[in-house]
Amino acid sequence: MTIIPYSINKREVWNRFVEESKQGTFLLDRNFMDYHADRFFDCSLLVYNDDVIETELNDDSLVALFPANWSEEDRTVYSHQGLTYGGLITKPNVTQKEVLDILQKILLYYHDYMLARKVIYKPIPYIYSGVPNQEDLYAIFRAGGQLYTRGVATVVNVANPLAMRTLRLRQAKKALEHDFYIERMKEGDHDCLEQYWKVLTDVLYTYHGTKPVHTLEEMSLLMGRFPKEIRLFVVKDLEARVVAGTVIFETDRVAHIQYIASSAECRKFGALDLLLRHLCGERYKDKDFIDFGISTENGGKILNEGLIFQKEGFGGRAVCYDSYKLDLDRNRLQRMSSGMDHISGKKNVKFLDLKALSDSFEPDLSANILKVVNSGRYLLGEENEQFEKRWSSYVGVKHAILCANGLDALTLILRGYKIIHKWCDDAEILVPANTYIATILAIREAGLVPVLIEPQLTDYNLHAEQCCKYITDKTKAILPVHLYGRVCQMDEIKSLAQKHGLLVIEDAAQAHGAEFNGKKAGNLCDAAAFSFYPGKNLGALGDAGCVVTNDGELARVVRCMANYGSSKKYYNDYEGINSRTDEIQAAVLNVKLSRLDTDNAHRRTIAKRYMDGIKNPMITLPQYPSEDKECVWHVFPIRCPNRDMLQTFLRENGVETIIHYPVAPHKQKALMDVLTHGPLPLTQRIHSEELSLPISPLMSIEEADYVIELINRFVEK
């Protein structure tokens, strides 16, 4: 297959092909396309079956055309900005597989030779073709096309029209009573065209502040080139003045009504209604469709309700004029014409490449570390102070206290509240049963009793309706965990806690930057603990943690306890611990914080890709939240009954995955004898089926698509 760019010496070849094609109309004729060539940089293509050099091409082997123009500013191919529709033009006998191959070659051409980043594709609406011709839409889907704009046109099915509204008929009758009459502009009648264009221009400027897309000169030119295809119908009064009209683009099947306008003084007399009733009921009764054109603006986001109501009054209903956006990715394009059972080249996709992640922050990361090394201050210095201020501001709380790790952060909160509120050792803390063991260890380290609560399978999080069954006189707090980076439904949990006089403490170790109802995780209740383990959305090089709160008393106690229980050197108020973030880790966090929101946004992009692309019925996808910011996708958890087999399959094909977590806390040897709980079937199911797919700020779309392709290929053996 050979692709060559269009040039003027191929004009006649192009036009002959359009006449014989499955989709062709006169709009795709070069005599129409090129009337405004000065406005667009043409990058149309011809596709031949021959695999030879251009000079040896036989025009009989031409199989497809692609009308397109180029925007250098955004490196985008449009098909075509100067046309109502564009898209692939093919021979009538091409097959679906052939269209896949053709469009693949076209897109690769734009990617490789023009360095195009994307294509905006406007297919020809189905009403213009006498035979099925939507092979291109399937090909666009396979290439990763996403719906970009959607215009709504009002179309009358001439063979089976809806009845015209009484209002429209009544207005048409009124026009006849005022002796208005209809004329078709005779060829070369420039005066009639000029009169109408003045009416049209006045209407568009008065009511819409715009002007016709075509100038009077351009429309005159096009009518001269296409006298049988472009016609003007006007309404005149007794003085033979043009008071209303419309331009018609005629194709074999469709009369496309454009530029409908009526003078201001004649609007109320139904001049347009008279004309449109005539066109629909008489003039074009032998056509298949009458297309009144779109009634939308801003890519379909705004519906002109008054305009479409008028059009629908003549018996028309909606046909969509769509366009699609394709981000050109070579690996995906190479695979688009192959079956999904083919894996094109094994890739190595790490679960998380920590070195590459650190490298992406250079040289700022090394510079900030070196600054600490040269300062001579390695604990409780300027970097700690700076990050605590920045993190408290980011989260939206009054206090942030750095400590050694996320486990210590949780433990310090619980021990602090135990001291402040004088909890007994048998005080109970409600906690999700499917959390990481560190949450349980923190409760026990504080000398308190964890009460395990089943999560919901929808989001794997703790919910108030389950918690309320386990509240007793001993219950002192609820400890929701924003597992996998998704915020719990905190309004319900807080309401339950307030009802029973309980504290709420967030385990936000996986939810850096997540939001709920406009507030950041960590600022949703009494206090929260963060981990800055290297693999977190915001991670240090070693380990670190942080307590955040608006409770000044808790902040004072936590800061004291983290420093051996001392607020003044060598004077100890509490039986504390040594839990501090060193200056190097704080320096790393200060560099990485500036990119947290951007990195989270990329994680959401990958997550959406997974959600849209994974179609294997054996895979249970996570529930996507109603609000994007409720989840920062620390991990992307799927469930599969045959998890181990799936993990092995992915590993053999170069994809690294991790299980979060293979053993539930209540099944851990260390805790089996100390945890009291009822049956936990949902927890057990999660831990036996969950598998986390790679997702990171550095993961490419190509890598995500490779993972998707593998998962969709997976079958049980």
Q: pLDDT at residue 315 above 50?
A: yes
Q: pLDDT at residue 339 above 70?
A: no
Convert the pLDDT of each residue in 524-542 to its tens digit: 999 999 999 999 999 999 9
* pLDDT at site 458: 92
How many other CB atoms are found less than 10 A from the CB of residue 421? 11
* pLDDT confidence bin for 337, thresholds 50/70/90: low
Convert the pLDDT of each residue in 589-610 to its tens digit: 999 999 999 999 999 999 999 9
Give the Cα-Cα-Cα angle 646, 651, 652 (nearest 5 degrees).
100
* pLDDT at site 452: 96
* pLDDT confidence bin for 409, thresholds 50/70/90: very high
* Percentage of the residues of the chain whose pLDDT score is greater than 90: 77
* pLDDT at site 95: 92
* pLDDT at site 54: 55
For residue 386, give the H/E element and its range: helix 382-395
Q: pLDDT at residue 687 above 80?
A: yes
Partners of 449 in beta bridges: 428
* pLDDT confidence bin for 343, thresholds 50/70/90: very low
Residue 696's Cα: distance from chain center in Å? 17
* pLDDT confidence bin for 342, thresholds 50/70/90: very low
Cα separation, 461 vs 455, in Å, equals 5
* pLDDT at site 56: 64
Strand intervals (E) in 426-468: 428-432, 449-453
Convert the pLDDT of each residue in 474-492 to its tens digit: 999 999 999 999 999 999 9
Q: pLDDT at residue 227 above 90?
A: yes
* pLDDT confidence bin for 717, thresholds 50/70/90: low
Query: Per-residue pLDDT averaged across 638-647, rounded?
Result: 95
Cα separation, 613 vs 332, in Å, equals 13
* pLDDT confidence bin for 716, thresholds 50/70/90: low
* pLDDT at site 182: 93
Tokens at residue 30, please? Answer: 């070069």
Residue 61's Cα: distance from chain center in Å? 40
Q: pLDDT at residue 429 above 50?
A: yes
Cα separation, 581 vs 549, in Å, equals 18
* pLDDT confidence bin for 341, thresholds 50/70/90: very low
Q: pLDDT at residue 288 above 70?
A: yes
Cα separation, 403 vs 409, in Å, equals 6
| Mean pLDDT of the residues in the chain | 92
Phi, psi of 471, deg, nearest 5: -80, 130
Q: Does pTM surpass 0.85?
A: no
* pLDDT at site 113: 86
Cα separation, 520 vs 392, in Å, equals 11
Query: Per-residue pLDDT averaged across 327-341, rounded?
Result: 68
* pLDDT confidence bin for 306, thresholds 50/70/90: confident
Query: Per-residue pLDDT averaged across 564-589, rounded?
Result: 93
